[in-house]
Amino acid sequence: MNQERENTRGAIQDDELDDDDDDYNQENQFLTFKVASEIYGIEILSISEIIRLIGITPIPETMEFVKGIINLRGKIILVMDIRLRFGLPEREYDDRTCIIVVNIDGLEIGLIVDFVSEVVEIEEDQIEQMPSRGGGERQRFIRAVGKVGGEVKILLDLNKLLFDEELEKIKNMT
C-alpha cells in the first residue's frame, strides 16, 4: 500500500511540473491572510514569495505605513505594514507575522500581515464587486469579494494599495 501511495504522489508531482496547467490553475487561486479580524486575499500570480518576519531596517522620514527595508538574499525590498496602510492600530509582531512579497507596478514590495491562512480557489462566478456603501479608506484597496463555501474573502487590488505619488516616492527610495 505504501508503494502505491508513493507512485501516486510521484505522478501528481510530475503533473504539477507542466507549466501550462500551472498558469491555468493559478488564475483562480488566492492566498488568504488575516489582518485584524478580516480575511483578505490576493491573486497568487502576484506573489513572489512568503517569508517569516526578518529584521527590518527603518527608513527615516517616510510614509507612516512603510516599516523600512529588508535584505532578502541580496535584494533590497521595501516593507509596508498592511494594518497601518488600512488605518488600523499597530500591533506587536509575533511568530505568525509574515511578509508576503508581491509585485506592484514592477516593484517587489513586502506586505506585513498578521498571519497567512491558506490558498483558496475562487471561480469567476463566485467573485462579486464590492457594494459601494461609503466604506471609507480601506474600501479603495478592495477589488472584489469572493465567496468560498459559506465564507466571504475580501480580495485586494494590489495596484490600488499605493497612490501614484506614494509609488513614485517608493521608486525613488529603492
Q: Supply the DSSP symbol for 69.
A: E
81 located within any domain: yes
Examine residue 7 and state whether it is found in any structural domain, yes or no: no
pLDDT at 130: 75
The amino acid at residue 19 is D
Q: What is the CATH number of the domain that holds 65?
A: 2.40.50.180
Task: Count other C-beta atoms under 10 Å from residue 167's C-beta.
Answer: 17
- pLDDT number for residue 14: 33
Q: Is residue 71 part of a domain?
A: yes
Which pLDDT band holds residue 12 (cuts at 50, 70, 90)? very low
Whether 152 is covered by a domain: the verdict is: yes
Q: Is position 10 within any domain? A: no
Residue written as grid cell 505605513: 65
Look up the pTM and report it: 0.79
Residue type, 138: R
CB 8 within 8 A of CB 14: no
Which structural domain, as residue segments, surrounds residue 77? 19-173
Domain contains 3: no
Q: What percentage of the chain reaches a pLDDT higher than 90?
A: 55
Residue range 130-159: average pLDDT?
80
* Lookup: cell for 83: 494594518
